[in-house]
Structure 1
Amino acid sequence: MKPQSLMLSFLGIHVLDRRVAVFSGSVIDVFARVRVSEEAVRTTLTRMVKRELLARHRRGRRMYFGLTARSTAVLEDGYQRVWRSVVNRDWDGTWTMVGFSLPESARSQRHDLRSRLIWGGFGTVQNGLWIAPGEVDVPGLVGDLELDDHLRVFTVRTAKPTEAGQIAHSAFDLPAVAARYQAFLRRWDGDNPYPDAPDDLARQLLLHTEWLHLVRRDPRLPAEHLPGDWPAIRAEQVFRRLAEGYGESARTIAESVLDTIRP
């Protein structure tokens, strides 16, 4: 797991909504539990400051790091993704369709756009045409890329001879999504997950980081178009049970380790 992914999990669990800044030394202590080196932590903090995801606050010789408006928005979005159901049981039959065409000179922008669409639950119907179940806030998803002139966005329903089930199975790689949930279950659905982790704070960070990585790549397809043995259902049950089980112990450990200030 990348240090920044772990950092976002840490901030989302132990800093978001508290309105505090955290001493870098205590962050290093936390991340040593998941075998992230001091150098990697400091590099990650510096990069996140440059990306306006963290703000520095000096107190004497100590440097503290707090959230920015940008990181708060990212963490709140991550929180919603972590805790919402992985199976879409409320689908009303609508799809959001996005078409785009960018010149070869805009390769970097095209990559960014595709990455955002995948994050938003979109799959490819054909080249340059993407689709996601339900109504997706496309401006909120890609608006800052400033590609409005190149996008065409529609809310649609399938019509004969096209079936919604066909779209679900052709536009999205369901076997790959299922394989990721099955791998999660092999790691976490047992009597003693992550036995090498020193405590529940470490296990909490690993669990939340892996789960967010899973759900951000899950299009949340309608339940009626998923296999009956869809592994995400069991994986969600395991995640929620473990997250609740680690919560109090991890919070106690964090409170004993973290040095915080009101910025």
Structure 2
Amino acid sequence: MPVPRSKSLILDIYGGFVRHLGGWIAIAHLIRLMGDLGVDEQAVRSSVSRMSRNGMLVRRERGSQVGYEVSDAAATILDEGDLRIFAGGMPARLEDGWVVATFSVPEADRDQRHQLRSRLAWLGFGNLGAGVWLAPRRALSRIREAVEELGLSAYVDLFEAHYRGFDEVARLAERCWDLEGLNQRYAQFIQGALPVVGRWRDQTSGDDRAAFVDYTTILHHWRKLPYLDPGLPQELLPARWQGGTAAGLFSEVLERLEKPARRYVEGVVTRR
């Protein structure tokens, strides 16, 4: 698996642990946890400083301790992310059809246009053509909320549709999403997660620190995959699809390691 970036690992720690402990952590304790993950103090302080300037973290002092909590905007992103990362959703049904989003945002608002494209991709939409995006119909309510939140409802049209074209629906899906590339990423995740899961299957008890390291590492590498997966109907997926196997491994990691990992973090943050 690729080496994680310190900023991403900090978000993993806040999202996976700190939010459940009041949302604030002393910088000394964050440095300790990041050290367990192989990140040195200077890299942590540099990343925290950038994240604070970017509005993701907010500095707060508690007594003699200096620490940080996630901003309201970052907390919303983490909450929404939980729905994708931990939901383990079922594939969409082909008979339910599609939602089609078309838009034409003026050049003067190109920053908002970029935000809209990013949000469409985040919600699992695939690009069918210039200004035309496609997703399973169940994404309709979420894209409506996103468009209204961005203030772009005057430039976006949404349709419910069924494909009546001349190509096979599976080939249409291949044009909109890089399913083979996603399948390879799932396979890479499995390759990295299997040895970790295998070690813990063979143990009746384990070290909480080791559980924290393994859990956070697996969470980090899983986190992006649900955002790349549009949740297409089973009939449209490539042969030997790895998504189900990968999701099963991630669920096993949660079951085996989440509690001892949280226990370890609680021990670190309550230590004076």
TM range (shorter): 0.7 to 0.9
Matches within 5 A, 1:32-43: 32-43=35-46
CA distance in structure 1 between the aligned counterparts of 2:90 and 2:238, rounded to whole angstroms: 11
Contact 1:53 1:67 (8 Å CA) reproduced: yes
Corresponding residue of 2:203: none
Give TM-score scaled by structure 2 length: 0.83
Q: Which runs of 5+ in 1 are unaligned?
A: none
Corresponding residue of 2:177: 172
Corresponding residue of 1:117: 120
**1:73 aligns to 2:84 (yes or no):** no
Of 174, 189, 207, which aligns to 2:218? Answer: 207
The alpha-carbon deviation at position 144 of structure 1 amounts to 4.0
- What is the total number of aligned residue pairs between the two structures? 256
Matches within 5 A, 1:106-255: 106-136=109-139, 137-161=142-166, 163-190=168-195, 191-192=198-199, 199-255=210-266
The alpha-carbon deviation at position 86 of structure 1 amounts to 5.3
SS in 2 for 1:216: helix
Which amino acid letter does the alignment assign opposite residue 166 of structure 2?
P
CA offset digits 1:149-171 (Å, max 9, x no partner): 32222222222435533322221
CA distance in structure 2 between the aligned counterparts of 1:58 and 1:91, rounded to whole angstroms: 53
Contact 1:207 1:243 (8 Å CA) reproduced: no
**1:256 aligns to 2:267 (yes or no):** yes
Which amino acid letter does the alignment assign opposite residue 84 of structure 1?
A
Corresponding residue of 2:10: 7
Give TM-score scaled by structure 1 length: 0.86
Contact 1:122 1:219 (8 Å CA) reproduced: yes
CA offset digits 1:210-242 (Å, max 9, x no partner): 111111111111112113521011111111112
Contact 2:147 2:156 (8 Å CA) reproduced: no
Contact 2:26 2:68 (8 Å CA) reproduced: yes
- CA distance 1:66–1:91, change in 2 (3 Å): farther
- CA distance 1:6–1:141, change in 2 (3 Å): farther
- CA distance 1:89–1:150, change in 2 (3 Å): closer
Which amino acid letter does the alignment assign opposite residue 178 of structure 2?
D
Identity of aligned pairs, percent?
Answer: 27
Contact 1:22 1:258 (8 Å CA) reproduced: yes
Which amino acid letter does the alignment assign opposite residue 232 of structure 2?
L
Alpha-carbon RMSD across the aligned residues, in angstroms, is 2.4
Contact 1:26 1:259 (8 Å CA) reproduced: no
Contact 1:100 1:150 (8 Å CA) reproduced: yes
CA distance in structure 1 between the aligned counterparts of 2:137 and 2:239, rounded to whole angstroms: 21
